[in-house]
Amino acid sequence: MERKHLLAAAIFSYSYSNYEDHLGINERFDRLMPHDTQILERAFKEQWPLEKVAKKLEVSADIANELLEATQWALDIVDAKNPAESFRIAVRQCIQYALEKGLDSSDSVEELVQQICYRAADLGLLLDKEGHRLSQYSRHLRWESDVEYYDGYFEEPFRE
């Protein structure tokens, strides 16, 4: 899958594997979503007015706004420095969304778990695409903001 497909999958809420399964057999995935993704990325980067985005995509202003928000989130995921960072960003977004929506029932918890599993599957596809193993990203997955990293080991930072 190319970057345009990864971005389209993230914007339109498809797992990478599901999106990839539709490539070559479905015009929507091959041409239409990447086309709209290109418009959305340009609109986001150039800060187009919402009305212009809506007109270009032939959607309402509300839907255009939702798509621009999804584009921002998708760009963070797809343009991350490595697959592990992409995974961390995607999981963080899933959790933030779940908290905003209300994480107050076993169904909502199960929905969050399902979304995290989708992100894990996306990580697997990215690793396969690059010919890498998960263990190669162990330090990135274990990164903690209050711990400094030295020569392959995490050490507590010196504190007075």
Q: For 8-62, how does the pLDDT look when each residue is reduced to its tens digit (9 = 90+)?
A: 999 999 999 999 999 999 999 999 999 999 999 999 999 999 999 999 999 999 9
Residues 4 and 40 in one domain: yes
Using the 3D structure, point to which of 79, 105, 127 is the last residue of a domain: 79
Answer yes or no: is 72 within a domain. Answer: yes
Residues 45 and 116 in one domain: no
Task: Say what the pTM is.
Answer: 0.83
Residues 42 and 106 in one domain: no
Residues 30 and 97 in one domain: no
So what's the pLDDT on residue 138?
Answer: 86
The residue among 150 and 102 whose pLDDT is bigger is 102
Answer yes or no: is 110 within a domain. Answer: yes
Instruction: Report whether 78 contacts 89 (CB < 8 A).
Output: no
pLDDT of 154 > 90? The answer is no
So what's the pLDDT on residue 67?
Answer: 97
Using the 3D structure, point to which of 23, 45, 79 is the last residue of a domain: 79
Answer yes or no: is 17 within a domain. Answer: yes
So what's the pLDDT on residue 148?
Answer: 56
Convert the pLDDT of each residue in 121-146 to its tens digit. Answer: 999 999 999 899 998 888 888 877 66
Residues 19 and 35 in one domain: yes
Q: Which token pair is 100?
A: 């905003």
So what's the pLDDT on residue 159?
Answer: 36
Task: Tell me which residue of 17, 22, 15, 20 sits closest to 114, measured CA to CA.
Answer: 15
Convert the pLDDT of each residue in 62-81 to its tens digit. Answer: 999 999 999 999 999 999 99
Answer yes or no: is 122 within a domain. Answer: yes
Sequence-separated (6 or more) residues with CB below 8 Å from residue 17? 121, 122, 125
- Host domain of residue 108: 82-143
Q: Can you list the alpha helix ranges (DSSP code H) found in the chain?
A: 3-11, 16-22, 27, 33-46, 50-57, 61-78, 83-101, 106-130, 138-141
Residues 88 and 46 in one domain: no
Q: Which token pair is 63?
A: 């839907």
Residues 74 and 1 in one domain: yes
Residues 60 and 73 in one domain: yes
Task: Tell me which residue of 111, 88, 89 sits closest to 99, measured CA to CA.
Answer: 111
Answer yes or no: is 154 within a domain. Answer: no
So what's the pLDDT on residue 143?
Answer: 76
Average pLDDT over all residues of the chain: 90
Residues 10 and 46 in one domain: yes
